Amino acid sequence: MEFSEVVQQRQSIKSYQPDKTINDAELKELMQEVVLSPSSFNLQHWTFIAVRNPELRKKIQASAWNQEQVGDCSVLLVICGKLNAHEDAHKIYQDTDQEIQDKVLPLINSFYDSKNSLQRDEAIRSASLAAMTLMLGAQNRGWATVPMIGFDPEAVSELVKLKPNYIPVMLMALGYKKEDPRPRSYRRPIEEVVRLDTLDGPGLLG
Ligand SMILES: Cc1cc2nc3c(=O)[nH]c(=O)nc-3n(C[C@H](O)[C@H](O)[C@H](O)COP(=O)(O)O)c2cc1C
């Protein structure tokens, strides 16, 4: 599919065919694209918990405003961010030149160490960029998605056994749509969302 077609066709889908499956091999192929997403210092803060177990799905659904798509989609992904991902830098950079490691590793450490709010921002940024790749990759395969923040983060963390250094950034339903989505929802005009030079500058007209 043409990239612009993928982007145009993606919409948040809330109604899924519960009997349809996406198997491990199919999911793996998608995830191989997802992990090509960018992240600061290539720290790859993301972890994806693919939930298929029906009992667990029901419990997560109950902690997610009982949203139907949480229970009905083929795979529910809990997209997590690792708060202390900077501590993995030595592993990520182990095959790079020693000279680069000597420069980058202390820089990464001093940039993130003890900065809780920055660590959280970065975990959310990286996981969110990966989530976007996931939605587009899924769309390209004819699958449907919807990202969700409508859930209780503490309850979901407990259900999928997150350790304290991980946060659930969003849930993502992945599966087959039951029906065509409603018409595309309202988008703010480009001249309003793109400002030239400063926030109070003129809008992009083109
Ligand atoms: C971070 C985030 C959280 C969202 N949370 C929910 C949610 O909990 N439930 C839901 O039905 N849709 C959720 N959505 C979907 C939005 O409502 C949807 O993206 C928006 O209305 C634009 O529509 P579109 O995705 O079809 O273009 C969320 C989207 C984002 C990006």
Where exactly are the structural domains of the chain? 3-193
Query: What distance lies between CA 197 and its chain's CA centroid?
Result: 30
- DSSP state letters, 100-120: HHHHHHHHHHHHHTT-HHHHH
**Three-state DSSP class for 78?**
strand
How far CA 44 is from CA of 13, 35, 122, 142, in Å, comes to 27, 8, 10, 26
Residues within a 6 A CB radius of ligand 1: 11-12, 14, 67, 146-150, 170, 185
Beta bridge partners of residue 145, listed in sequence order: 12, 174
Residue 97 in tokens? 């030149």
Q: What is the pTM of this model?
A: 0.97
Question: Mind listing the pLDDT tens digit of every residue in the chain (206 residues)?
Answer: 899 999 999 999 999 999 999 999 999 999 999 999 999 999 999 999 999 999 999 999 999 999 999 999 999 999 999 999 999 999 999 999 999 999 999 999 999 999 999 999 999 999 999 999 999 999 999 999 999 999 999 999 999 999 999 999 999 999 999 999 899 999 999 999 999 999 999 999 98
Q: Which CATH number fits domain 3-193: 3.40.50.150, 3.40.109.10, 3.40.120.10, 3.40.50.300?
A: 3.40.109.10
How far, in Å, is the centroid of ligand 1 from the Cα of 101? 40
How far, in Å, is the centroid of ligand 1 from the Cα of 26? 24
